[in-house]
Amino acid sequence: MTVDERYARWLERTADNKEINDQLRGYDEKTKSDSFYRDLEFGTGGLRGKIGAGPNRMNVYTVARASQGLARTVGKGGRIAIAYDSRIKSDVFARTAASVFAANGITAYIFRTLMPTPTLSFAVRELKCDAGVVVTASHNPAVYNGYKAYGPDGCQFTLELAEKTLQNILATDEFDGVNSVDFDEGIKNGSIVYIDDSLLEKFIDNVTAQLLQPGLPAAVGLKVVYSPFNGTGNVPVRKTLDRMGVKCSVVKEQELPDGNFPTIPYPNPEIRENFKLAEELAVKLQPDLLLATDPDCDRVGIAGRNRDGSFTLMSGNEVGLMLMEYILSTRKAMGTLPERPVVIKTIVTADLAYEIAKEYGAEIIDVLTGFKFIGEQMSSLSAKGEGDRFVLGFEESYGYLGGLYARDKNAVFASAMICEMAADLKKKDITIPEFMESIYKKYGYCLHELLNFGFEGQSGMEKMKRIMKAFRDAASDGFAGEKAVGFADYAESRKVDIASGKEETINLPKSDVLCFELTGGLKFLVRPSGTEPKMKAYLVSKAPTLEEAKVNMERLSKAVTDKVNSVE
């Protein structure tokens, strides 16, 4: 169907849904085109898009259609767990999914209230479900929502499961192909079941079981200012920190669930401005650190207190490296470090992790971007009876996980372990920024920078393809005044040594990621985001001194930005 034909069909078939129908009638030509030129894509991360009317938007029809496809993947007699965050319509979409699952002979287990993403991963495993769904758009702006799908191991869908579900979705008519029951009727007949509140307590039990010195925060009087960014972290994070004896004060304006995110248009803990209210509260309370979790509480950001009372926002890479050093060194001192410990990270995350791994005899497993790949490696270790080797999984985008009870990044765990680490540092009279500096001094200065380039709509998707082609065509070119040393194309599963021309096969699933290695200790990777209308470039600068690393990073940042901007 053409855009106009599909638009007309939606206009006719949603006549009994005033909200959707009114939105459709209010669309201008540009909005209509963007909302109907394609279906909202279902990938390994599920669905994500702007809330609105049309097949390329998040609404009850696209959610119901996706749920019908997932129901066919799972099959009659299956079990699916459902969670949702504080975003606009998250509860509505969660109930819509439950109603579809129930109509297809699947028992739907749903939380009574909003819950963090990692808690859903835990619930899938704890309730022995065949799949799971979280309604969330993570840290995207308020106009977005999404639908993440999980397998029976608690990992986000594998490539195979995602493809199977996608085909089932494509075979489902968005209006005539969906089965659904009344939600309240489903509750009455037992096809929809509320998850018992005790599951959250079990989840927190598993989180605190990962701690190495659980009584230390209370002993040193650790003080934290925390913001849940109007999301799901408020209850579980504060409960966990309370168990540890952390003196936790919350940012009131960002405490209660609110999908409009009134004080932070982009609820991402990577953004310094989002800590403004926490810093204002810190002037009065003088905490040891600031802590913030994104709306679905799978990512956490921190700002460490300096000697002069100011705060330094730590990057996702830096927090991961600090946790890695703290956990490995502490477990070694305690005699609990396993033989051949394993740290799992993504290919765009902290090269310095290799140096820390060498210090403690640890193995680094590199995976593609996306925490599901970390989860898959955890499951692989467990299947071989080697799960106790796993000590930490992390990615540069503020995601961390310890323990085998869940298979997705977990800001409840990360908040707890960060606080324990901060308490250990406080006992030794070391600030968090000073600890990071000591790691750089010990292992070398290796700076990381993330560049984001936004491209909205159909034209944006097409431009990203042209930009990726331009980078591929420049595989042997130098950047930032440096020569090309190596090039890797993960879509073609090949890695090339530029000087010799020797090629190696990359033994990872194919993915649209390019990696450029340059002289002068520079490296960068570029990829289109799988969940947002943007491209990302991950820059690395290694140098003997901090000053050199910074100067080289500036050159690299300019060169990559110029390359992106040169493409029409």
Residue position matching structure tokens 């959610």: 63
**Distance from C-alpha of 26 to C-alpha of 520, rounded to nearest angstrom:** 55
Residue position matching structure tokens 């405490």: 255
| Residues 6+ away with beta carbon under 8 Å from 142 | 87, 88, 259, 260, 261, 265, 267
**Distance from C-alpha of 548 to C-alpha of 446, rounded to nearest angstrom:** 10
Q: Closest Cα to residue 262, out of 290, 229, 228, 299?
A: 229
| Beta-sheet strand order (sheet of 300-305) | 247-250, 223-227, 289-293, 300-305, 311-313
Phi, psi of 172 (to 5 degrees): -105, 125
Paired residues of 448 in beta bridges:
540
CA-based Rg of the chain, rounded to a whole angstrom? 24
> What would the two tokens of residue 389 be?
């080797």
| Residues 6+ away with beta carbon under 8 Å from 441 | none
Cα 379 to chain centroid, rounded: 19
CA distances (Å), 363 to each of 28, 229, 326, 341, 389, in order? Answer: 55, 35, 16, 6, 9
- Specify whether the CB–CB gap between 206 and 223 falls below 8 A: no
Using the 8-state DSSP alphabet, how is residue 566 labeled? T
Q: Closest Cα to residue 47, out of 73, 67, 23?
A: 67
Cα 449 to chain centroid, rounded: 17
- Specify whether the CB–CB gap between 552 and 522 falls below 8 A: yes
| Residues 6+ away with beta carbon under 8 Å from 363 | 340, 341, 342, 343, 357, 389
**Distance from C-alpha of 451 to C-alpha of 6, rounded to nearest angstrom:** 37
| Residues 6+ away with beta carbon under 8 Å from 351 | 446, 523, 540, 542
Q: Closest Cα to residue 420, out of 171, 207, 215?
A: 215
- Specify whether the CB–CB gap between 53 and 59 falls below 8 A: yes
DSSP character string of 67-80: HHHHHHHH-TT-EE
Which are the catalytic amino acids?
A: 138
